[in-house]
Amino acid sequence: MQDSLALHPDFRCEAVTAIDVEVVRSGTALTLAYTITGRIGALKLPSLASPDRIDELWKHTCLEAFVRPKGGSAYCEFNLAPSSRWAAYRFDDYRAGMRNAALSLAPAVSVAVSDTRLEVTAHLLLDKLEGFADVPWRLGLTAVIEELSGAKSYWSLKHPTGRPDFHHSDGFAIEIPAA
């Protein structure tokens, strides 16, 4: 399945013309392939680094996925930086009970950059997350884009009314059937 992210209406982005995401689920494995199109040289991108777990990646250019078992209120947030660094959090409910998510393997993040495209692909294994096996998932896909000017923009499958809020239930806009 492939979908496109929309720019939040209260923000502008001079560098990016489109963000597309391809999603593939196989059991408790999730593959996300983000493609950002535009003037990639105008983006503030971190240098490639060791694929370590790092907090606060969302403060700069970061691709995100929010995954919730259908019908539940608990969810996970995955932050994927173009440096190959990542973070994974588990929430009990809307912005409540945040803690590091237990993963059996660190996400495998690959990055390819050209003048007009930034591609970030991540393979996530959710097998250690209670309640995620053998059920449909609701998925929210988002991005924070930082330009060299310092301007930030917020992209999502669907934005709730008001300020950007990637944790809002409106953003869980895709249903992924159990595999």
SS3 content of the chain, % helix, strand, coil (to 5): 5, 50, 45
Query: What integer pLDDT is reported at residue 154 of this predicted model?
Result: 98
Query: What integer pLDDT is reported at residue 124 of this predicted model?
Result: 96
Which of 25, 19, 48 shows the shortest CA–CA distance to 139? 25
Encoding tokens for residue 38? 């535009």
Query: What integer pLDDT is reported at residue 81 of this predicted model?
Result: 97
DSSP class of residue 43 equals B
DSSP class of residue 19 equals E
Domain limits, the chain: 2-176
Where do the DSSP E strands lie in 13-171?
Answer: 16-26, 29-38, 62-69, 75-80, 86-91, 99-100, 108-113, 117-125, 137-146, 152-156
The pTM score is 0.96
Query: What integer pLDDT is reported at residue 56 of this predicted model?
Result: 96
Q: Which fold has domain 2-176?
A: Immunoglobulin-like (2.60.40)
What is the full per-residue pLDDT of the chain (179 aa) written as tens digits? 999 999 999 999 999 999 999 999 999 999 999 999 999 999 999 999 999 999 999 999 999 999 999 989 999 999 999 999 999 999 999 999 999 998 989 999 999 999 999 999 999 999 998 899 999 999 999 999 999 999 999 999 999 999 999 999 999 999 999 97
Q: Which residue type, as a one-letter code, is found at position 115? A: D
Taking the CA atoms of residue 41, residue 44, residue 47 and residue 50 in that order, the dihedral angle to the nearest 10 degrees is: -130
Q: Distance (Å, rounded) from C-alpha 100 to C-alpha 77?
A: 9
Query: What integer pLDDT is reported at residue 179 of this predicted model?
Result: 76
